[in-house]
Structure 1
């Protein structure tokens, strides 16, 4: 099972938009459309960082590469 992380963007720590939890599970997500995948192949899509709230499961997506993840003790 994935280890929980905390996330920050600059000086701001991130919390879940739904339950205000501050622990997440990270997952890389490929953002693509059916048309782009058909025309250019699967590698053409943009990547995002998916943060899944440890408490409620809500998925937050970030394309900002400046997001920092820190290991957290559950």
Structure 2
């Protein structure tokens, strides 16, 4: 995770923003909370996803795929 823009890929496929078609993102872990787990005070056990936040427009895409890789951008 970081504050610098990076490119993302799953295998050989590069990911682009669904809104603006940009290819630079920052990433963060996102908890996929469920109300049942919240009620039982087990929110910590909920599944996580990788949120890719588009550097250009801010649109957030969620990926549960563990194969997602982030790549530095050399400028």
Is 1:25 the counterpart of 2:26 in the alignment?
A: yes
User: What are structure 2's unaligned runs of at least 5 residues?
Assistant: none
**2:35 corresponds to:** 34
Alpha-carbon shift at residue 31 of structure 1 (Å)? 0.5
Superposition pairs for residues 27-66 of structure 1, below 5 Å?
27-66=28-67
Secondary structure at the aligned position of 1:28 is classed as strand
Alpha-carbon shift at residue 37 of structure 1 (Å)? 1.7
Contact 2:5 2:25 in 1 (8 A): yes
Count residues in correspondence: 74
Is 1:71 the counterpart of 2:72 in the alignment?
A: yes
**1:7 corresponds to:** 8
User: Residue deviations 1:7-55, cap 9 Å, x none?
Assistant: 0011100000000000001111000112222225121110100000000
Contact 1:18 1:58 in 2 (8 A): yes
Distance 1:31 1:73 in 2: 32
CA RMSD of aligned residues (A): 1.5
